[in-house]
Structure 1
Amino acid sequence: MSFNFGDNLRITVFGQSHSEAIGVVVDGLPPGEEIDLARVQSFMLRRAPGNNTFSTSRREPDKAKVISGLLDGKTCGSPLCAIIENTDCKSGDYANILDVPRPSHADYCAYMKYKGANDIRGGGHFSGRLTAPICFAGAVSLQILERRGIFIGAHIQSIGDIEDRSFDPVSVDSSELVAVKNKQFAVLNDVIGKQMIEQIELVKGQADSIGGVIECCAVGVPVGVGEPIFCGIENRLAAALFSIPAVKGVEFGTGFASSKLRGSENNDEFYYDDNGLVKTKTNHHGGILGGIASGMPIIMRVAFKPTPSIGLQQNSICLSKKTNTMISIKGRHDPCIVPRAVPCVEAAMAIALLDLML
């Protein structure tokens, strides 16, 4: 089923952008794992809307209410279920697009698939709002992974053509990943971050939108995690990442740029470090070989398209009249989804890795 993910750690998300609530069921968690709900809430607030001038003005506290699965703050073997109420919906903003699909949004495909019965309000279950329950599951997974020495962090690699510096693919450590999480705007170079914010506010003032790239890293993943063929780390990470609306591409290590290299340039030579651990001098492979963790940092980059809901007038169609028409989208939308998607990428990575490790 399309709302489910995982083989060992099984998650199911439910709800729509403007339904009474959204939520998630997480099954397969190891029993006896202590879950700090305050840390979970702090993680989710990084994704929550309305917390700055460069995101949507929709304000949602994203307070997760745990229904089952915890006893005295620890997992008890029962599926962990949490709901998140939708408290700031303005469904009337979507009245003018009930049968006029927004360009590059899921509206038309959903209308055809569900024979017009789809919930158009806020994008229904195609909305980025559904990443909130994914972040809950990811925040829980992150705490369990950290107790096993695995840390995950991400930063905004680029907004449009403005680029942050990259993680050092050989020597990035957990302290750097934790540090960037604590920033309001998740970049490694704060000067570049200010330029990115200015660019986002510029396109917002023009009733337009802009895309970007997020770079994410996991350190401490033991050698041997992952499976060949269909269950490689890349396979499972890609499946989880494409649950995030607006994701259009994923690359690992040097990625597409490796296609321009020779084998002598792209190959990562092995060596024993001073502690007798096997490492590679470079990390073009992004910490994954044959679908299996090599012990080097796992590095990936995730490309996001510009938010399709923009205020500029565009061409579309009227489905009921079968005529061409124009559309000007109202409502509250992010001029750039990338800043709020950083924890979503971390969450997807955590869910996929914990599933493989279990």
Structure 2
Amino acid sequence: MRRWIQTLSLILLIGGSFPLSLQAEGKDGTLDIYFIDVEGGAATLIVTPAGESILIDSGYPDYNGRDRDRILETLKDQAGLDHLDHAVVTHWHLDHYGNHAALAALIPIHNFWDRGIPDALQEDKKFDERIANYRAASQNKSKTLRAGETFDFDSNGTPLKITIVSASREVIENTGEPNPFASEHKPNPIDKSDNASSIGFLLEFGDFRFLCCGDLTWNLEAKLVTPNNPIGQVDLFMVTHHGLSTSNNPVFVKAIDPVVAVMCNGPTKGGHAETIATLKSCQSLKHLYQLHRNVTLGADEQTPAEFIANSEPTVNCEGIGVKATVAADGTSYTVQIGQAGTRNEYESRSSKH
């Protein structure tokens, strides 16, 4: 299924307001992924080789517009864009959709995507009020994503595809090679929160593979990769649920065996020692990047300081992000902290075979 690109094409045919020349201006064929610091929330901007933009989640509201402004700075000043083609909500927790409405008031957003809007949310007493703002921003036209859907994108020659691997507590069909770590799964109590309903997706660009699963929790992670692993191994992994230990089940993390992981944690939220230990146990992991130093852990319990974007508590935080840039042919990629940080180079794992 190709609803995403078909929807965008239809908008263009009937008179969409944004010019493709502006989208592609300044692009050099790379795929760019910006992990924006929203202090333990989530906001990830993907810009395709053709200049098509996808924002996954939008951080916390309030805080004097802190997260909204960091997203806008990344979008405009770093990515050189003046609109969003797609805004996605992985699940209905405020640190993931808190600025969708605020952003829509300041820049054009052409498509909204989510897992479907529930009638109520038990863990959020103000959900009715908050979802009303989202409905208004999306003009009640957001599109529902379901596990198993795939979307192809214009990418200047190198195939670019996104597969939805989880949504609304459903996961893709359990095909693929047997997961050698399947026996390690120890079930947790059933998670009734909306975290377990998170949208997860696998992005494939040539040989490069990037996995993001929102705040998907322990048992659903196991359901996704046991007894078989339909995802396979990945190059880049956005660590699930800010690095909390209620997610990042070893049976899942070791099965996908990332080469690089980026953890969108805060100074005191996420970045748990158990999760970091699980990541370090992966055979292929070369580097773990943290958006924040976990101020409650010792230096030996987290990634080395040169792979931590922000070391200060929130009150002094500069909001430095992490950027991944994938080569136009998908065979290699770089990851750096901030705009001027050292670019560490990696080879896409499929290119090695």
- Which one has the largest radius of gyration? 1
* More relative contact order, 1 or 2 (CA 8 Å, 6+ apart): 1
TM-score, L = length of structure 1: 0.24
